[in-house]
Amino acid sequence: GAFGIKVHVYPDEMATAAGKDPFQFRRDLLGKSPRHKAVLELAAEKAEWGKPLAAGCARGIAVMDAFGSYLAQVTEVSVDARGAVRVHRIVCTVDTGWVINPDTIKAQMEGGIVYGLTAALRGEITIKNGRVEQRHFGDYQMLRHNEMPVIEVYIVPSTEMPGGIGEPSTALAAGSLVNAVAAATGRRIYSLPIK
């Protein structure tokens, strides 16, 4: 699916079918994957997974590896009575191996999250008379400052070879978002953008 949604949604569905917490379900399966497990546990800790949220709010979680880096993300959302989704907070953890410049890593994670959320929330491409209608950012607008959630990025110390850091959080943003929406509404999302 778009941005690897199938990778992220199915573990949540399996956790629900097994009657298990989505974080714990993933954690239990990662015994032989210490880097996945480390980012997942740190994300859950920093996001205070399991701590109650305000009424109408929920969390979603996702974990993945890409380009030699390992990431986990927890997204907190609210969904109003009309079904409008608002993202309030994202906790992103990353193990990209040996860290050369932590500020660059954090900036790349934040930028990737902006693109991932934009695609998941409003990234529809439409065709009219055989042509794409969205020609530039005036027609395909990114999330604006007042729409962005608080983003926290935590880097896992590592002595592994450096991995890529350009785009991994883009894919993870959509996965943790749709899992949060499902936790809030009880409805799974299988296509993007969320409408």
> In this predicted model, what pLDDT tens digit does every residue of 90-145 receive, in sequence order?
999 999 999 989 999 999 999 999 999 999 998 888 899 999 998 887 888 888 89
pLDDT in tens, 159-175: 999 999 988 899 899 99
Using the structure block, give the residue that is written with the tokens 């199938």. 6
pTM: 0.90
* SS percent in the chain: helix, strand, coil, step 5: 40, 20, 35
Q: Is 192 exposed, middle or buried (0-12, 13-18, 19+ CB in 10 A)?
A: buried
* Average model confidence (pLDDT) across the chain: 91
Q: Exposure of 159 by Cβ count < 10 A (0-12 exposed, 13-18 middle, 19+ buried)?
A: exposed
- Provide the 3-class DSSP secondary structure of residue 101: coil
pLDDT in tens, 48-69: 999 999 988 999 999 999 999 9
Percentage of the chain lying above the pLDDT 70 cut: 95
Residue 152 has pLDDT above 80, yes or no: yes
State yes or no: pLDDT of 190 exceeds 80. yes
Instruction: Please give the Cα distance from 191 to 120 (Å, whole number).
Output: 9
User: Per-residue pLDDT for 195 more than 90?
Assistant: no
Cβ atoms 79, 70 nearer than 8 A: no
**Angle at the Cα of 98 (from 173 to 25), degrees rounded to 5?**
45
Listed residue (181, 188, 189) closest to 80, CA to CA: 181
Specify whether the CB–CB gap between 127 and 135 falls below 8 A. no
CA distance 164 to 175: 19
**Where residue 177 falls among pLDDT bands split at 50, 70, 90?**
very high
Q: Please list the alpha-helical segments (H only) found in 20-83.
A: 22-29, 34-46
| Nearest residue to 37 (alpha-carbon basis) of 59, 17, 16, 65 | 65
pLDDT band at 9 (very low <50, low <70, confident <90, very high): low
